[in-house]
Chain A
Amino acid sequence: MKSSRYLVYIGVLIILLTLPFYTGVYLLNVMDIILIYLALALSWDMLLRSGQISFGMAGLFGVGGYAAALIHLNAGVSPLLSIALGGLAAGFLACLIGMAVLQLRGMYFAIVTLALAEIFRVVIRNLPDLTGGPEGTILPSAIFSGNSTKTYWLVLTVAAVSVIASEIFRRTRIHFALTSIRNDEIVAKSSGISVFKYLVFIFAVTSAIQGITGGAYAHIYGFVSPEGSFSLDFTLLPIAMTLLGGMHSTWGPVVGALLLGVVSEFLKLKIPYGHLLVYGIIIVITILFFPQGIVGTIGQRLKKNHVERLAS
C-alpha cells in the first residue's frame, strides 16, 4: 500500500520533470503560472494552519521580486542567487513586521497585512531612483535568456520547495504547535508552546516562500513594476485556490491551484476579464456547499465509507 503510493509520487515527479520534452512552449508557460500560484497558495495555507489569515501575499511577493531584480542589477549577483536573496529579504522583513503586529489576531491581523502590502507598493512607487518609480524596472534579459524549458524547471523547483516545506510543517512538531494555536491559544500556552515565537516563525517562513516566488516571477518576465508585481491577483487567486482545494493540507492547495489555474487559462481565452467573475462564483459555491474544499470533502467521504464498512 505504502510502496505503491511512493511509486505514484515518483511517476508524477518524472512526468513533471520531463514535461518539456513532449509539450509545446504554450503549455509550459501555462504551467509556469499555475506553479507560481501553487507555491503562493501553499504558503498562504501554511500560515492559515496557525489560524492567521494574511491578505498581504502580493506585498511580500512584490518585495521579493523587487529585491531579486535590484540585487541582480545593482550588485551583479546571478539571477538564481538573487531569487534566493529576494526570498531572504521578504522573510527578514516579515520577521520584523511580525514581531510588531503578531499581537493581533484574526481580522485585525488580516487588515494589517492588507495595508502593509499597499504600503510596500506605495513606498516602492515613490523611490524612483532606486526602483524606477511608477514605470518599474526592466531587466536586461529574462532568466535563461527566456529558455522555456529551463524556466519551467526553475518554477517547478520553487513549487517543489513549497510542497516540501508544507510537508515538513505537516509531519513535525510544528504541525502540533500550529494546530493547537489555531484551535485554542490558551491550551497551547498552557502546554508549553511559545505562541508568539511560532507565529513569527511561520509568518517569516511563508513570507520567504512568497518572496522567492516573486523573485522567480520577476526574472521570468524580466521586469518589475508597482502595479504588476503587487497585483492583487497574487493575493486573491491563491486564496481562491486554497478554498477550492481544501484548507490545512498540502494536497488541497495543490489540487485547487491546478484546477483553478487550468480553468482560468481556458476562461481568459473565452471571456477576457470575465474570469474574475467565475472565480467569485466558484468561491461562493465552494464555501456554501463544500466548506472543506475538494480534498477535504473527498477525504471525509472516504473516511465515512471506511467507518461504515467496519461497522457492517
Chain B
Amino acid sequence: MTILKTENLTRHFGGLAALDHVNMEIRENEILGIIGPNGAGKTTFINVIAGIYLPTQGKIFFDDQDITELPAHKRCRLGIARTFQLVRPLPGLSLLENVMVGSLFGKGLRQREARKKAEELCEFLGLSNMTRDITRMTALEVKKMEIAHAMATQPKLLFLDEVMAGLNSDETMEMIALVRKIHSWGMTIGIVEHVMRVIRELTHRVVVLDWGQVIAAGAYEQVSNDSRVITAYLGEEA
C-alpha cells in the first residue's frame, strides 16, 4: 500500500529547480531513506510535502487523497509530521508544553489528555524533568523533544530531517534504537540523513536525490553501488 505518492513534483526557487519532476512513493510501514549531497533538495522535498512550500508543478497524494493545495496545518491533521533539520524549539514554553503543542493541535486533544499524551511520549523517549526550561537541554534532548513534538500529532507518516546530525556515536546508537521502536508501532517513516551507517541500519529502501532529481531508488546495497550515486557524491573521475 502506498501512503504517499508524488507525481512530477517540481519546486523552483527563482531559476533554480530545487525539485525537478520528482516521482516518489512511500509505502505503508516502511522506513524510506532520502539521501543526496548538500543542496540536492531533500529538505525542500519535506517542506513541499508538509505544505511549507507549495509546489511549482506536480501533485501530491496522501492516503489516495490529493493534498497538493492543502495548507500545512491541515496536512498535519491528516497525519503528516516532521522534525526540523535546524531544531526549532519554542521558547517561553517548557519541554512538556513544547510537546503538548503537537498533541493539542495535531489531534485536537483537550488540554488534560494532551498533557497526558505528551508525558507518555517524553517518558518513552527518555526525557525527564519535563517542566524545565528548554534553554537547559542538551543537543540530544532537544532532538528527542522535536521527535516527541512531531509524534504528539499522532501522524501516519513521520519525516525525520537529519535527527542524527551533531550527535556522538553512543547517542546515534540510542537514536537508531528509538527510531526502530517508533517504527515498530506501525509508523511509516521518511528519514533524511547524511550518516550512512544510519541509512544502512534503518532503511528498507533508499531514494537518492541530486540537483532535485531522483537518480536512484532501491535497497541500500543496490543504491550504494550505483555508479550515478557514486558520481553524485564523489564527483566525476578526472
Do A and B assemble together?
yes
Known: A173-B105, A173-B111, A192-B106. A187 touches B90 (CB 8 A): yes
Stretch at the interface among B68-76, B174-182, B207-215, B229-237: B68-76
Of B76, B90, B100, which contacts A184 at CB under 8 A?
Answer: B90
- Whether B93 sits at the interface, judged by CB under 8 Å, is yes
- Whether A190 sits at the interface, judged by CB under 8 Å, is yes
Which of chain A's residues has its CB closest to B51's CB?
A: A189
Stretch at the interface among B9-17, B54-62, B80-88, B197-205: B80-88
Minimum CB–CB distance from B112 to chain A (whole Å) comes to 11
- Whether A194 sits at the interface, judged by CB under 8 Å, is yes
> In B76-104, which residues have CB < 8 Å from any A CB?
76-77, 81-82, 84, 88, 90-93, 97, 100-102, 104
In the complex, chain A residues whose CB is within 8 Å of the CB of B5 = none
Q: Is the CB of A189 within 8 A of B92?
A: no
- Whether B167 sits at the interface, judged by CB under 8 Å, is no
- Whether A231 sits at the interface, judged by CB under 8 Å, is no
- Whether A29 sits at the interface, judged by CB under 8 Å, is no
Q: Is the CB of A180 within 8 A of B90?
A: yes
Q: What is the number of contacts between chain A and chain B, taking CB atoms within 8 Å?
A: 73
Minimum CB–CB distance from A52 to chain B (whole Å) comes to 16
Which of chain A's residues has its CB closest to B83's CB?
A: A190
In the complex, chain A residues whose CB is within 8 Å of the CB of B153 = 191-192
- Whether A172 sits at the interface, judged by CB under 8 Å, is yes
How far is B146's CA from A191's CA once the two chains are assembled, in angstroms? 11
Minimum CB–CB distance from B82 to chain A (whole Å) comes to 6
Minimum CB–CB distance from B91 to chain A (whole Å) comes to 6
- Whether B164 sits at the interface, judged by CB under 8 Å, is no
Of B52, B97, B111, which contacts A189 at CB under 8 A?
Answer: B52
Q: Is the CB of B92 within 8 A of A179?
A: yes
Q: Is the CB of B82 within 8 A of A190?
A: yes
Of A172, A173, A176, A194, which contacts B73 at CB under 8 A?
Answer: A194
Q: Is the CB of A172 within 8 A of B111?
A: yes
> In A8-57, which residues have CB < 8 Å from any B CB?
none
Known: A189-B71, A189-B73, A193-B73. A177 touches B90 (CB 8 A): no
In the complex, chain A residues whose CB is within 8 Å of the CB of B50 = 190
Known: A189-B72, A192-B153. A183 touches B104 (CB 8 A): no
- Whether A121 sits at the interface, judged by CB under 8 Å, is no
Minimum CB–CB distance from A278 to chain B (whole Å) comes to 31
Q: Is the CB of A192 within 8 A of B76?
A: yes
How far is B114's CA from A172's CA once the two chains are assembled, in angstroms? 12
- Whether B149 sits at the interface, judged by CB under 8 Å, is yes
Q: Is the CB of B90 within 8 A of A179?
A: yes
In the complex, chain A residues whose CB is within 8 Å of the CB of B102 = 191-192
Q: Is the CB of B76 within 8 A of A189?
A: yes
Q: Is the CB of B92 within 8 A of A248?
A: yes
Which of chain A's residues has its CB closest to B136's CB?
A: A307
> In A178-210, which residues have CB < 8 Å from any B CB?
179-180, 182-184, 186-195
Minimum CB–CB distance from B150 to chain A (whole Å) comes to 8
How far is B103's CA from A28's CA once the two chains are assembled, in angstroms? 47
How far is B72's CA from A184's CA once the two chains are assembled, in angstroms? 14
Q: Is the CB of B73 within 8 A of A186?
A: no
How far is B90's CA from A238's CA once the two chains are assembled, in angstroms? 27
Which of chain A's residues has its CB closest to B80's CB?
A: A190
Minimum CB–CB distance from A155 to chain B (whole Å) comes to 32
Of B72, B82, B105, B114, which contacts A177 at CB under 8 A?
Answer: B105
Known: A172-B111, A176-B97, A176-B100. A191 touches B105 (CB 8 A): yes
Q: Is the CB of A192 within 8 A of B105?
A: yes
Q: Is the CB of A176 within 8 A of B76?
A: no
How far is B18's CA from A255's CA once the two chains are assembled, in angstroms? 52
Of A183, A187, A191, which contacts B92 at CB under 8 A?
Answer: A183
In the complex, chain B residues whose CB is within 8 Å of the CB of A176 = 93, 97, 100-101, 104-105
Q: Is the CB of B101 within 8 A of A195?
A: no
Q: Mark B105-117, 1 if CB is under 8 A from A, else 0.
A: 1111001001000
How far is B97's CA from A180's CA once the two chains are assembled, in angstroms? 10
In the complex, chain B residues whose CB is within 8 Å of the CB of A183 = 90-92
Minimum CB–CB distance from B221 to chain A (whole Å) comes to 34
Q: Mark A142-158, 1 if CB is under 8 A from B, else 0.
A: 00000000000000000
Q: Is the CB of A173 within 8 A of B104?
A: yes
> In A244-296, which residues have CB < 8 Å from any B CB?
248
Minimum CB–CB distance from B107 to chain A (whole Å) comes to 8
How far is B105's CA from A187's CA once the two chains are assembled, in angstroms? 12
Interface centre among A180, A183, A190 (most CB of B within 10 A): A190
Known: A173-B104, A176-B104, A177-B105. A187 touches B88 (CB 8 A): yes
Minimum CB–CB distance from B116 to chain A (whole Å) comes to 15
A-B contact pairs, 10 of them (CB 8 A): A177-B104, A179-B90, A184-B88, A189-B71, A189-B76, A191-B76, A191-B102, A192-B73, A192-B102, A193-B105
> Which 10 A-B residue pairs are closest in the complex by CB-CB distance?
A189-B72, A192-B105, A192-B76, A192-B106, A183-B90, A193-B105, A192-B77, A187-B88, A192-B73, A194-B73
Task: Give residues in A with beta carbon < 8 Å to B.
Answer: 172-173, 176-177, 179-180, 182-184, 186-195, 248
